[in-house]
Structure 1
């Protein structure tokens, strides 16, 4: 099956049109895609509409490489929009009532009571809204509860929604448009904070801009090693026949990431669509919030065992790894070595871009972007994934103290400017560091439990995987 006529895609905001429209530079990892002569006119103002086999082949390739994204407003409606909503819940009758009221009664709804302490309250809410109730006698966790509901679904699509989420039928109808692409298995909206009448405390204001479930403002293909490397199933629309056995019921955390990565491994696409949103009731108590962040971290160990190629906390090219080692060494030779690495890398990339206009200008831009990414990932390693080692190193070495201080302060300064939060810089910085402490602590606990450091080890990729060249011949 191919992408149907009428499907519209637009180049990703990071994709550059080079050589007067003869090539595209973008994607993850970055690649130069040279367009065949008959493929060039198919792109108009960075947009492509599928009208024939040639445009369908080109659109499929651009989506696969992460060079372009579907234009949700221009996509045709889903030809078979039948779906069933599955809601796993344990207690939380008030939140369930709010969600069911927002969903409406046009489509089937299955409420899976995961052995609530007060099952009668959940049953009453489900009956009030005409939802089908599946009551579990034993608590199975989110994965098992979702699977219990999935087993009752007879429609082509299923919507998984956590009880503390609020969404509307319009949200689901919009996400369903993505399934015009026959390779799309799952689509997730942007998860934002649920507005409340009471003013948010400082943790709430931090969560409004730095929630672990919020994947950002830009559409993307979900793929390990990219800016959107996983997707939460707090709210998700999925193709039932792609899910097979569903979630791994042995996982109490990280089961959504595992499902997402298994789908990708099996050749399916997973899309992130921020044009529509689902509101999530964030945790506002400091102890509850901190514990939840740590729990998220504990999923790293089981995920590392199941997906060892996807779990790396940082991904470096050999040259960027050398660059970071040189800078962290803080020796007299550090700056000259770093400069030499950047220079040699720019020349090597320029040679791979040979035949394009201004190859050295493009190479300098790519090298700068790669260096910035390496610095950002190193900062995250020092302050988040490796913070126990960083703390130990700070007691022994002034260089480690300087590196940690620069990493922590620079991270807060850059992220605070980007997030544009109403929270003051001091409390934002405290919340940012507590976030890292909790998550990183969870990762270390899972590593100890699994007796493996896989989730803590960066990945070094070979150069040919970082900047590659291809030709599109639709």
Structure 2
């Protein structure tokens, strides 16, 4: 049996109590039991939790990044966690060996910082946006990647102790990419493991004004925080063109432009550009940091 100890973290806004309990039941049925399960009520009260789950209720919604950092803090207080697994509250672990295989993979590769699960609906379909590659190809093909999926993944606690936790100011959107770029620059590996499945209802991202603003603002922050200076205008220019071409809503495009301007004029935290060898490494993995 693997000796790495796995903790599980779940964020909820209190609006999916049935789905949350189904998820926690699937965690309880794992053949490697987590040492701790932490459920964070992100600005909402929590429903009753099963025995052994630790609940934390926040008085305000701190976003994905802030809520996950609260869960990490709680897991550190509880202690004895080597790997944390983050799961969406409406997801489901359909195989009982997911946590064991996560522990085995991290134990076998100490430099493995992140494992990205495959997100699939009840029919086994994986949406294009849920494959962390530019060229999607077969969603069941795994391997090294440059980013990961927020809905189901594992993080090495040793890695987080080195590179830091989630970027709280992001609230949501691109927080996984920010963490992934820091991990790659510190020498860690990110792997997409399609055999590790989180079943999740088929959804499309909500295209409201706040969504467009946050996506654009955080994209600019991401570039300002992490890219070599010469790549910043190239990266943002590419994404501006792609957004204009893909946009189907004038209101959405206006919200995106407002978020872009906000990102340019507001501070984004400490600037620490990734090294050129990291840029080359990402390019060899199929996703240079210009798109």
- Alignment CA distance shift 1:115-1:303 (3 Å): same
Aligned to 1:258: 178
Cα distance per residue 1:230-289 (max 9 Å; x no partner):
2122111121121124111111122221111111111111111112211223435xxx63
Instruction: Indicate the SS of the match to 1:451.
Output: helix
The gaps in structure 1 that reach 5 residues or longer are 1-76, 197-207, 224-229, 316-380, 391-432, 453-460, 468-474
Contact 2:11 2:39 in 1 (8 A): yes
**Cα distance, 1:169 vs structure 2:** 3.9
Aligned to 2:114: 186
Aligned residues: 245
Partner Cα distance (2:192, 2:249) in 1? 24
Structure (1/2) with the larger helix percentage: 1
1:446 and 2:259 are equivalent in the alignment? yes
- Alignment CA distance shift 1:265-1:146 (3 Å): same
Contact 1:158 1:237 in 2 (8 A): yes
State the structure with more CA Rg: 1
1:161 and 2:87 are equivalent in the alignment? yes
1:114 and 2:42 are equivalent in the alignment? yes
1:303 and 2:233 are equivalent in the alignment? no
Cα distance per residue 1:136-178 (max 9 Å; x no partner):
2232111111111112222111111121221244122223332
Instruction: Indicate the SS of the match to 1:289.
Output: coil
Contact 1:166 1:278 in 2 (8 A): yes
Select 1:237's aligned residue among 154, 168, 174.
Answer: 154
Aligned to 1:83: 6
The gaps in structure 2 that reach 5 residues or longer are 133-138, 266-275, 285-291
List aligned pairs for 1:270-289, cutoff 5 A.
Answer: 270-283=190-203, 289=206
Partner Cα distance (1:277, 1:250) in 2? 30
**Cα distance, 1:133 vs structure 2:** 0.7
**Cα distance, 1:389 vs structure 2:** 5.8
Aligned to 2:273: none
Contact 1:158 1:238 in 2 (8 A): yes
Contact 2:143 2:193 in 1 (8 A): yes
- Alignment CA distance shift 1:240-1:209 (3 Å): closer
Partner Cα distance (1:269, 1:388) in 2? 29
List aligned pairs for 1:7-86, cutoff 5 A.
Answer: 79-86=2-9
Instruction: Indicate the SS of the match to 1:152.
Output: helix
Q: TM-score, normalised to structure 1's length?
A: 0.45
Aligned to 2:268: none
**Cα distance, 1:84 vs structure 2:** 0.9
Aligned to 1:425: none
Partner Cα distance (1:389, 1:437) in 2? 10
Instruction: Indicate the SS of the match to 1:151.
Output: helix
Cα distance per residue 1:11-69 (max 9 Å; x no partner):
xxxxxxxxxxxxxxxxxxxxxxxxxxxxxxxxxxxxxxxxxxxxxxxxxxxxxxxxxxx
Cα distance per residue 1:410-461 (max 9 Å; x no partner):
xxxxxxxxxxxxxxxxxxxxxxx56899997776443222238xxxxxxxx9
1:212 and 2:129 are equivalent in the alignment? yes
List aligned pairs for 1:38-437, cutoff 5 A.
Answer: 79-91=2-14, 92-104=16-28, 106-107=33-34, 108-116=36-44, 119=45, 122-124=46-48, 126=49, 128-153=50-75, 154=79, 155-167=81-93, 168-179=95-106, 180-195=108-123, 208=125, 210-215=127-132, 216-223=139-146, 230-244=147-161, 245-253=164-172, 254-283=174-203, 289-291=206-208, 294=212, 295-309=214-228, 385-386=240-241
Partner Cα distance (1:166, 1:436) in 2? 34
Contact 1:191 1:213 in 2 (8 A): yes
- Alignment CA distance shift 1:281-1:302 (3 Å): farther
Partner Cα distance (2:56, 2:96) in 1? 22
Partner Cα distance (2:166, 2:221) in 1? 14
Contact 1:84 1:109 in 2 (8 A): yes
